Structure 1
Amino acid sequence: MKLLSDVHERNASLFPNAPAIVFGQQVISFGSHWRRLNQLADGLHRGGARRQDRIAMLAMNTPEYIEAYGACERGGYIFSTVNFRLAAPEIAFVLKDSAPHTLIFEAQYAELVDSLRSELEIESYICLGGQTPPWALSYEEVLAAGSPEGPPFRGKPDDGVLIMYTSGTTGRPKGVLRSQYGEARLAEVMAGQLAMTSDGRQLLMMPFFHAGSRSQYIGSFWKGGAVHMHRVFDPQLILKTIEADRITHLHLAPTMVQSILDVPDIGDYDLSSVRTILYAAAPMPVPVLRRGLAVFGPVFANGYGSTEVNCTCHYPHQHKLNGTPDEVRRLGSVGQPATDTDIRIVDDHGNECPAGTPGEVVARSGTALMRYWNNDKATAQSLRDGWFRTGDVGYLDDEKFLFLVDRKKDMIISGGENVYCREVEEALITHPALSDVAVIGVPDAKWGETVKAVAVLAPGRHATQDDLIEHARSLIARYKCPKSVIFVDDLPRLPSGKVSKVILRQLYGACL
């Protein structure tokens, strides 16, 4: 069976001079990419790393990130990503938990890494770019010492190849261990679901420590397509890159789509090359979707997944704003089960729910995690008989379109009634004065919990708390409607683009 290292080798053989990675003015061919990842894999081996040792990386988006991923795929190491946005104690926890043999870090993080070294049991430190500190090795020197043939071993299908840490929305982040086999299946699924091709040019700016960018670029490589990288999200630069490089595929959170659509001169750019914009991590407000379709055409595809199960559902190019009642209703869904994925909706006792009845979403897929790293309890709680319990509450319609209604832990119980945050949010966001909104439960002596909305007004628009509450009452039952509304400039978000309900509850959850 083909693994990702086989894909890199195939691309180097079939398209040696074709661009694999484009980063500003830097263009790396498939031939060069294969040679460099082999050298890095062997350089790590010469430095003492062995199969299934962990290789951690602390860096922003850079071509070497994809290179390090590839070296671990080739050499049978386990790559462990580190979120550069975390605070020092959080980074220390991730590094202690994954216990890497080697940490590759960008020079900008040298002072941070140095401050943590006494707490860690890392054998080798490799500095990328900038000035290398005396206690670390230079990335390019390690790579130059390695053989273009790679180390004397390769990854196997049932090897672990990646530990990616969750966002930590329910406490400490959990390390999700993914396999060589599962990552290859994920690449094949994404390539098929998004119709990727060898002439495709994908633009990615989501952080590469996150599952989103990872799933997208391996899908492109599966077909021999090029990956264009941005270091950070810059809406104007994205539009310039689409026009100049004839970008065909993009992966964006809905908030990013809105920011791009808000660029004042967007109409001056040639965006005709775009074939697919995959949005994921959060629902797309229908007003934003309408604007997007008007600017880009029918290129939008919705995706639903997780670090643990990857691409669970997909809704490709089926957005019909003026379609039949069923087609319009399904704009609120996250699509149908992806290739290689089965989905069930179960109640608290594990019994399957009938169509239209909410319950917990459980999924089974060849792309799913092997287990949680160093966390048997969490593994036992989440993986049962091959089915992963997502913690999401949703329902399936009669054609297996999945509608999400809440995170299980975020569901509000008010006066004994279940209130699903997403249902309230979808009602509120239709108010023309809003650009964003999130709903949380707050303690209440009489009702147990009541609904609170945290709202962001659109530029130049105005609305009061009473306006929004009355608007919600016209669309959903009164007991589901907010009892209070607070207006903010922006909502706190995780790297994936999801709203951080943990932070919202910390800031606004103690009072009405």
Structure 2
Amino acid sequence: MDVSALPGFYAIAQADPDRLAVIDTDGSRTTYGELLARVDQVSHGLRDRGLTTGDVVAGVLPNGLDAIVMLMATGQLGLYYVPVNWHLTQAEVAYILDDCDARLVVAGEAEAAAVPGAEIGTDRLAAGQPATAPEERAAGAVMWYTSGTTGFPKGVQRPLPGAAPESIVPLYTWFLGEVLDLRPGDGVHLVTSPMYHSAPCAHTQFALHLGHTVVIAPRFEPAAVLELIDRHRVTNAMMVPTMFHRMLRLPAEVRQRFDVSSLRQVIHTAAACPVAVKQAMMDWWGPVLYEYYGSTESTIAFAVRPHDWLARPGTVGRPAPTFEAKILDAAGEEVPVGEPGLIHVKSGLGAFEYRKDRAKTAASMRGEWYAPGDIGYLDEDGFLFLCDRRTDLIISGGVNIYPAEIEAALLEHPAVADVAVIGVPDEEWGHQVVALVEPAEGVTPGPELTARLLDHCGPRIAKFKHPRVIEYRERLPRTPTGKLSRSKVRQAYLEAR
């Protein structure tokens, strides 16, 4: 069935109820019609609990059908939905629930222990409720909590649209088509990361509005994900560079076992992707890697298609439709083309605010312009190249050094599974460069490996960027979306020293 003219999930489910909507982590299948019936039942259940427009519902839910049901039910009731990281401690979860003023919390069975008083799953909300659309439907919004680099997490809140869900879907589909070539139809979307993060959650919702089938991986394991792509003929997925690095480490005979020719768009974000890693992935999968740069606050601010990236390796793209960008120095003046500075973006899609924190909102803005906190430069054609986060910049001997550049060079060595580069205080130089390396499986750390890694850096980065110290770690702390907090790594390193 052609769904190109249908305005999103709710209408698609009514017009084509037998269309496959979700393949869950256990392999169970749910059609669009079955999913909508559950969404409508839960919607009535939420209304019966007294929830009205603008109220907040939180979900401490693992990836799976319940997480999708809550996303789509709140999305037609004019509610704010807060997905909560189930890896947090009870105190951390309690802080978010208190800060967002959640009227109701739904948790998974395993997660409920950290959330006293939570509903366990969606069964009770749905029990005895009609599988019909609720009255006075209105688009809701997801309010993700983000801590940036420091401080307590804050909810990124946007005004509710004040319109039916169907009325805003055309904007989504137009935007996704413009920046990622995603189209309505018979696509298959693979979820590889926890849906409490903004990008995996948003792409799951987008996939259903496009009429695609959503396949949910139980967790990211390189060979298992390749098998899902092969078995379900996945056409699009959202991944992060750490996943690429891990898949490239698979033996050639394992990689060749799986057919990935169905892939059309593999979208990556969340962290800088080393040029060599991305090039190797496109050598393997073909020109299917789409990249965007943004944040929970700014959404998709820059995007680049595969062929544009191949022409300009390393870029994260030009401003997405409705966005403007400029690069400013410390004094707030625009810098010349090619000169690094602090990235600022302005969107026509509407403003955000940090819930209950006007001061933090104001501090992140310069008028209408938002500063994500990253350093980068624009080339003569308006393509953005990232250097690093402002908070991670190393200044050694008065020279700016960007850890991401050193990490990218070290990751090219087959003995390196992961690496974090930090700056630590040095009386003579101000800071010195320290690399914390996670060796690849079967590699023995020690002076010999250190010498090989420094030799490897020789032709790739200038001498003043070489690590003064290389130490080894069994595992570096990354989030499930692949983000590495260098500030936390640096703090742990200094405390241990």
Q: TM-score, normalised by structure 2?
A: 0.89
Farther-moved stretch of structure 1 (390-399 vs 446-455): 446-455
Deviation by residue 1:209-234 (Cα, 9 ceiling, x = unmatched):
11121232233233222211123223
Offset of residue 294 of structure 1: 3.3
Residue 169 of structure 2 corresponds to residue 169 of structure 1: no
Tell me what 2:82 maps to: 80
Q: SS where residue 268 of structure 2 aligns?
A: strand
Separation of aligned partners in 1, 2:112 and 2:452: 51
What letter is aligned with 1:175? G
Q: SS where residue 305 of structure 1 aligns?
A: strand
Change (3 A) 1:238 1:466: closer
What letter is aligned with 1:506? Q
Deviation by residue 1:377-429 (Cα, 9 ceiling, x = unmatched):
11111133322111011001011111111111111222332222223333433
Contact 2:261 2:285 in 1 (8 A): yes
Tell me what 2:266 maps to: 277
Tell me what 1:106 maps to: 108
Q: SS where residue 318 of structure 1 aligns?
A: helix
Separation of aligned partners in 2, 1:344 and 1:14: 45
Separation of aligned partners in 2, 1:262 and 1:379: 41
Separation of aligned partners in 2, 1:178 and 1:162: 9
Change (3 A) 1:424 1:216: same
Separation of aligned partners in 1, 2:70 and 2:57: 8
Separation of aligned partners in 2, 1:81 and 1:290: 34
Offset of residue 354 of structure 1: 1.6
Separation of aligned partners in 2, 1:456 and 1:107: 34
Deviation by residue 1:333-379 (Cα, 9 ceiling, x = unmatched):
21222223222111122222221111111112245652111111111
Separation of aligned partners in 2, 1:335 and 1:407: 17
Tell me what 1:349 maps to: 331
Separation of aligned partners in 2, 1:474 and 1:267: 31
What letter is aligned with 1:481? H
Q: 1:190 aligns with which of 173, 176, 186?
A: 176
Tell me what 1:122 maps to: none
Separation of aligned partners in 2, 1:44 and 1:402: 44
Separation of aligned partners in 1, 2:255 and 2:455: 35
Tell me what 1:152 maps to: 135
Q: SS where residue 215 of structure 1 aligns?
A: helix
Separation of aligned partners in 1, 2:174 and 2:38: 24
Change (3 A) 1:181 1:465: farther
Farther-moved stretch of structure 1 (178-187 vs 339-348): 178-187
Farther-moved stretch of structure 1 (420-429 vs 485-494): 420-429
Q: SS where residue 450 of structure 1 aligns?
A: strand
Residue 390 of structure 2 corresponds to residue 408 of structure 1: yes
Separation of aligned partners in 2, 1:380 and 1:314: 26
TM-align CA RMSD = 2.5
Offset of residue 287 of structure 1: 3.8
Tell me what 1:131 maps to: none
Offset of residue 248 of structure 1: 0.6
Contact 1:163 1:373 in 2 (8 A): no
Separation of aligned partners in 1, 2:40 and 2:9: 10
Offset of residue 146 of structure 1: 3.2
Farther-moved stretch of structure 1 (335-344 vs 182-191): 182-191
Change (3 A) 1:180 1:227: farther
What letter is aligned with 1:382? S
Residue 338 of structure 2 corresponds to residue 338 of structure 1: no
Contact 2:275 2:408 in 1 (8 A): no
Deviation by residue 1:104-144 (Cα, 9 ceiling, x = unmatched):
00111232223xx6xxxxxxx3211xxxxxxxxxx223213
Offset of residue 293 of structure 1: 2.5
Matched ranges for 1:240-389 at <5 A: 240-264=227-251, 265-318=254-307, 327=311, 330-367=312-349, 370-389=352-371
Q: Which runs of 5+ in 1 are unaligned?
A: 118-124, 129-138, 322-326
Q: 1:56 aligns with which of 33, 39, 58?
A: 58
Farther-moved stretch of structure 1 (226-235 vs 389-398): 226-235
Separation of aligned partners in 1, 2:383 and 2:496: 37
Q: SS where residue 108 of structure 1 aligns?
A: coil
Q: SS where residue 71 of structure 2 aligns?
A: helix
Q: Which runs of 5+ in 2 are unaligned?
A: 1-5, 163-167
Q: 2:218 aligns with which of 231, 234, 255?
A: 231
What letter is aligned with 2:182? M
Separation of aligned partners in 1, 2:340 and 2:263: 36
Offset of residue 460 of structure 1: 5.0
Q: SS where residue 138 of structure 2 aligns?
A: coil
What letter is aligned with 2:17? P
Change (3 A) 1:230 1:150: same
Deviation by residue 1:35-73 (Cα, 9 ceiling, x = unmatched):
322221221110111111100000110112111111111
Separation of aligned partners in 1, 2:258 and 2:7: 38
Offset of residue 263 of structure 1: 3.8
Change (3 A) 1:258 1:470: closer
Offset of residue 181 of structure 1: 4.6
Q: SS where residue 438 of structure 2 aligns?
A: strand
Separation of aligned partners in 2, 1:429 and 1:235: 17
Tell me what 1:485 maps to: 470
Change (3 A) 1:434 1:111: closer
What letter is aligned with 2:245? Q
Q: SS where residue 115 of structure 2 aligns?
A: helix
Change (3 A) 1:263 1:482: closer
Separation of aligned partners in 2, 1:318 and 1:354: 26
Separation of aligned partners in 2, 1:455 and 1:215: 33
Give the aligned length. Answer: 479
Deviation by residue 1:66-97 (Cα, 9 ceiling, x = unmatched):
11111111001110111011122211111111
Residue 125 of structure 2 corresponds to residue 142 of structure 1: yes
Offset of residue 466 of structure 1: 4.1
Offset of residue 186 of structure 1: 4.9
Offset of residue 201 of structure 1: 0.4
Separation of aligned partners in 2, 1:193 and 1:111: 41
Separation of aligned partners in 2, 1:364 and 1:444: 38
